[in-house]
Structure 1
């Protein structure tokens, strides 16, 4: 029986299928990722900028919004399975006492992720941190746009090589290299 697999030493290498090769390795698919990247980046950036002028996020009452959000998540945990007990404990023991710090992290994290995605700079890294924030919000029992943003961010992470082609990654990635390509480091 003939196969398209080939052996490289003791390793069997399975060739990439044409669709994933196109989506995740070919710059011809960059226009798809540009649309997704701009949408997700816009959502993050507008969310972060919207919080900048809000005193409950940044300013004299910084942390008040986080306290309210965490309080609601802890109530959901007590009321039912929307928030896991271990996550409610994390929120109560770590986030709540440091609400001001987390408030600034959320605001500037949202802005940084949004800018990274819109500019196409370190797209995979920006999408990864966006997905981490989405997961944190989902664990706290907040749906809204988080499931969709998480899925799109995960795809952007997978497409990191071409997702920023129509952006600054086109020039930054060849100059920066990758950690597994030690000739740049």
Structure 2
């Protein structure tokens, strides 16, 4: 009779102390709050400006006009020896985005607004920052620089620091309902030293 080998315990990677300090220590919550509010304000003001545009070229009777002009400009940047827009993205713009310009117009305007509101409130901060970065990436792929590189970098940081970026926000009370944090009302222990009861590695 043969005996089966014991089931191996899956290996886990220990998080470096510097990573825990930067991305999981509530003592840095004020710094993350500043970054979060800045990025949130930028998205909120951009979305609000589109939704309340008096010409209605983003949301309203003429929805799709502004985004069509933007997308046609992106296609124009895809030609020449050194194009600003990659050929595959130009194909996506021509065959997917432009035929549905009205839908994309609403998605951009309300997407920017919702990302801004969520970041300012600290509500699902990591998810909101991810979608903000996704918008930035699309604007960059379409050949628009402006503030997109900076906002994309900050959005990436907020995604990395999602555990503490919303600590001074609604995440502190909402995330525990999803099993993300065990003790929402207590400050985490020193991230450099293991907490009492943690296994010794």
Output the TM-score relative to the length of structure 1.
Answer: 0.88
Across the aligned residues of Structure 1 and Structure 2, the Cα RMSD in angstroms comes to: 1.5
Q: 2-side partners of 1:132 and 1:105: how far apart? A: 12
Alignment of 1:93 with 2:95, yes or no, is yes
- 1:14 is displaced (CA, Å) by 4.4
Pairing partner for 1:104 from 103, 106, 118:
106
In the TM superposition, what is the alpha-carbon distance from 1:15 to its structure 2 partner? Answer: 3.4
Residue 177 of structure 1 deviates from its aligned partner by: 2.4
Relative to its length, the structure with more helix (as a share) is 1
Q: Deviations over 1:23-50 (max 9, x none)?
A: 1111111111100000000000000001
d(CA) in 2 for partners of 1:64, 1:104 = 11
Q: Residue 73 of structure 1 aligns with which residue?
A: 74
- TM-score normalised by L of structure 2: 0.81
What is aligned with 1:41?
40
Q: Does 1:160 align with 2:142?
A: no
Residue 170 of structure 1, CA deviation: 0.5
Q: Which structure has the larger Rg over C-alpha atoms?
A: 2
Distance in 2 (alpha carbons) for counterparts of 1:177 and 1:101:
35
Runs of 4+ displaced beyond 4 Å: none
Structure 1: where are the runs of 5+ without partners?
Answer: 1-7
Q: What CA deviation, in whole Å up to 9, does each residue of 1:142-172 have, x standing for no partner?
A: 0001111111001101111110000000000
Q: Tell me the equivalent position of 2:147.
A: 145
**Equivalent of 1:119 in 118, 121, 132:** 121
Distance 1:78 1:10 in 2: 50
**Taking structure 1 as reference, are residues 57 and 10 closer, same or farther at Cα in structure 2, changes over 3 Å only?**
closer
